Amino acid sequence: MVLANISVVGCGHWGKNLVRNFYELGVLHSISDNNLNTAETISKQYSIPSLSWKNILENTSIEGVVVASPAPYHYDLARAALESGKDVYIEKPITLQNDHAEILCDLAKEKNRILMVGHLLQYHPAFIEAKNLVEQGKLGKIHYIYSNRLSFGKVRREENVLWSFAPHDVSMILALAGGEVPNYVDATGSAQTHDEIEDFSIVHMRFANGVVAHINVSWIHPFKEQKLVIIGDKGMAVFDDQKDWSEKLMLYPHLINREHDMPELLKADGIAVALEPGEPLRMECQHFVNCIKTRENPRTDGAEGLRVLDVLNKAEQSMKEKL
């Protein structure tokens, strides 16, 4: 059996990056896109066939399907692929409705198929190392996590900034907070460039283990910022994706001393954490290929995707109630 024959469905703004990576990994079998001009261009560029969705489902040599279509189509495409016996990688979010995500998870289990969700930053070397710091106890008890994902453009019209930006941040925070969903989610937002589509949003979360977190996302911010901060009582870590690799992950061994009535804050110099540079998308795509080969459960499997979706839907409901 071939290691992995993969077909990418949806070759637009983000899908073309997935096409490139699976091609460079040597596992791209074919592509499919409703825009025939796009499909023809990609097909010629990589010298691979452009197939209809029906042909992909019927082709038994295709082992994995990558769903990179707009989010409203994720459920129908992923369900059909799983039912036809394919392993499936879905770009974020897994679906738009919790019950649809639950169906996909159950179907993948029933069919013994891989179901993976494209939460890209879980595969970033800096985040992997930050998570290791937390799991190794280097930061002590985690008190607070926040993530800023800010930029000036691109404005979307098919989804608001919460659904476009925040899935990555929710995924990282859930992983750092122990993998469970928060017991409290509150969100605010505002639509400035469109009557109904929010351009910025702030999400607050609180977990049963005492961790508190917030996410700030915007596409009408004066400068770009992609920063995750983890605050513990024995140390603090900052993952700043705008920095060079030598400074992307900084460890601050600050201490919060609670031995006295008044907590004492002890400051220390920051330490750059050594990282092996790597393209997160390439690592994510390689992970999907490895899972097809070994049948191991993906790091960002369907269940993880469902937990992220649950937070997004709660945040969306909270935000809409305030408008």
Give the domain extent around 218.
122-279+311-322
Contacts of 262 (CB under 8 A, 6+ apart): none
Which of residues 80, 113, 146 is at a domain's end? Answer: 113
Q: Are residues 78 and 126 in the same domain?
A: no
Give residue-wise pLDDT tens across range 256-309: 887 777 888 889 899 999 999 999 999 999 999 999 999 999 999 999 999 999
Within 10 angstroms of residue 24's Cβ, the number of other Cβ atoms is 13
CB 173 within 8 A of CB 311: no
- Asked if residue 292 is part of any domain, the answer here is no
148: CATH: 3.30.360.10
Distances (CA, A) of 35 to 67, 92, 191: 15, 21, 30
Q: Are residues 211 and 180 in the same domain?
A: yes
CA separation for the pair 128, 283 (Å, rounded): 11
Q: Are residues 144 and 274 in the same domain?
A: yes
Contacts of 316 (CB under 8 A, 6+ apart): 162, 163, 187
How many structural domains comprise the chain? 2
CA separation for the pair 9, 281 (Å, rounded): 17
Q: Are residues 106 and 127 in the same domain?
A: no
Which of residues 113, 137, 157 is at a domain's end? Answer: 113
Give residue-wise pLDDT tens across range 57-96: 999 999 999 999 999 999 999 999 999 999 999 999 999 9
CA separation for the pair 230, 228 (Å, rounded): 7
Which of residues 56, 88, 113 is at a domain's end? Answer: 113
